[in-house]
Structure 1
Amino acid sequence: MKILIAEDDEHTREALREVLSMEGYEVVTASDGLQAVDFFRATRPDFVCLDVMMPGQNGYEACKQIRRIDDEVPILFLTAKAEEIDAVLGLELGADDYMTKPFGVKEIIARIRAITRRTAARSAKKEGEDQFMMDDLRVVPSELRAYRGTADIQLSPRDLKVLRLLHEKRGKVVDRNQLADEVWGIDYFPESRALDQHISQLRKRVEKDPASPRIIRTVHGAGYRFE
């Protein structure tokens, strides 16, 4: 899962990068609100952490702009302010939660996981869908997990979007343009290599035999298909 961290304090920013990278997250960092919005458009992360007080553009303004681009991506505010009015304002602007600095490593990891699960459950409810099968894989959107027997596989929100789209289009080829539009966003055009790399990594986790895939099959020169 890719996380964007926007924090003007270099020490805090790099500490968060290190901690989250060690947990297996892919981390993109920005030092102010303007850069955060630019990086969001360019990289389309699965989760956003926004410091409130940043130079150039504060976290509130960055949040509003990100919400215009994507109204579902989870957003967590990081703030040194504890006043209730700040928390209320942040949530009214579309943030999913907030944390007051200083905070512990375990606390922010737990909060990120909780928000991600909560937004996944909300999205699954919106889609009217609890779970679906892809070959022998049971995908549970509300948990951001897939199950093969008793083994569970963690999914990012983007992983889930890829699997859901392939499941909905079962038997049909889903080309790269459609994946870019529906999974990454209509104003984001990832390079073919970047998209293929994401699919390759997802395939390693969800396929019983990635060398002979049954869930995400490549249709050369066209895209991907789930039979």
Structure 2
Amino acid sequence: MNPTKKPSILLVEDEENLHEALRLNLELEGYEVTSSYDGIAALKAFQEEYFDLVIMDVMIPEIDGLSVIQNIRLTNDEVPILILSARNSSEDRVRGLKKGADDYLTKPFNLEELILRVQKLISKSKRIKEKTTLGDTYTFGGHTVNFKAQEARTKAGERIELSKKETMLLKLLIENRNDVVPREKILQSVWGYNVYPTTRTIDNFILNFRKYFEEDSRNPKYFHSVRGVGYKYAEEKEQVNKE
């Protein structure tokens, strides 16, 4: 991707005055904006172009915003999506995040706050893209994980067969090492968009990882639960795989 290229935003909002105000301000901030005023046009634009961010109103004609997000997530789980909505209940927020949004801003909103959230989402997305993709194997603390073979060898030489979801979750956590991975991101990446297990299910996977790889599972060094936020694989610099 050309580093000098302006970040591109798909703006989906059917209220014309608000749409134009947002488009103008985003362009003044240096973004390239593609406009859509209904759900069908939004999906068509998304299929035809690459975007660094989608700003999505929920109440739009043809196809509602949540259904558009769900359609986008069937083929793309990377692009950040910011919901704009007049609905401000916690249930509406949860529904939007479950459908695959990364952030949720209620109307009326402060324009400066919107710009800051846009900057944050695009920067975070860029950092994730720049992270080195893991190879087939990864070594930490004397343990080796073979993602392709779905197995691990512990420091003690014990071979552990990993389930497909264990392998996917392990890879996701290690790729984001030292960062908390939100529960919603894990659900989207490992379980897909239509099946949502309870938090307890993810906790059980983390407990398995501790059993496999931690010297003291009650005082974990690598695999952590961050209450109310998500889960983290922690690694000190001297433990990083040099291969």
The alignment status of 1:58 with 2:57, answered yes or no, reads: no
Q: Distance in 1 between matches of 2:90 and 2:127?
A: 27
Q: 1:56: Cα distance to partner?
A: 0.9
> Normalising by structure 2, what TM-score?
0.50
Cα deviations across residues 146-166 of structure 1 (Å, max 9, x unaligned)?
Answer: xxxxxxxxxxxxxxxxxxxxx
Query: Secondary structure of the equivalent of 1:37?
Result: helix
- Correspondence for 2:115 among 109, 116, 126: 109
1:42-121 matched pairs, under 5 angstroms: 42-121=48-127
Structure whose residues are more often helix by fraction? 1
Deviation per residue, 1:7-61 (Å, 9 max, x gap): 0101111111100011111000100111111111112211100001111111100
1:14 corresponds in structure 2 to 20
Matched, 1:127 2:133: yes
In 1: Cα distance, 2:110 partner to 2:28 partner: 15
Local SS of the residue matching 1:29: strand
Q: How does 1:177-196 map to 2 (within 5 A)?
A: none
Structure 2, unmatched stretches of 5+, are: 1-6, 136-243
Task: Using structure 1 for the length normalisation, give the TM-score.
Answer: 0.54
Quote the Cα distance in structure 1 between the aligned partners of 2:22 and 2:132.
32
Q: 2:10 aligns with which of 4, 9, 15?
A: 4
Deviations 1:38-96 (A, max 9, x none): 11111221110000111111110000111123110010000011011111011111111
Give the 3 Å change call, closer, same or farther, for CA 120–128 of structure 1 in structure 2: farther
User: Tell me, what secondary structure is at the counterpart of 1:48?
Assistant: strand
TM-superposition CA deviations, 1:178-209 (whole Å, max 9, x none): xxxxxxxxxxxxxxxxxxxxxxxxxxxxxxxx
Distance 2:72 2:100 in 1: 9
Q: Deviations over 1:99-129 (max 9, x none)?
A: 0011122111100111122333444457259
Aligned counterpart in structure 1 of residue 38 of structure 2, from 24, 32, 35: 32
Count of paired positions: 129
Percent of aligned pairs with the same amino acid: 41
Higher gyration radius (CA): 2
- Unaligned residue ranges in structure 1 (runs of 5+): 130-227
Q: How large is the RMSD of aligned CA atoms in angstroms?
A: 1.7
Supply the distance in 2 between the matched residues of 1:119 and 1:126 (Cα, whole angstroms).
Answer: 14
Q: Distance in 2 between matches of 1:101 and 1:4?
A: 19
1:129-177 C-alpha deviation (Å, 9 max, x unpaired)? 9xxxxxxxxxxxxxxxxxxxxxxxxxxxxxxxxxxxxxxxxxxxxxxxx
Picking from 41, 46, 62, the partner of 2:47 is 41
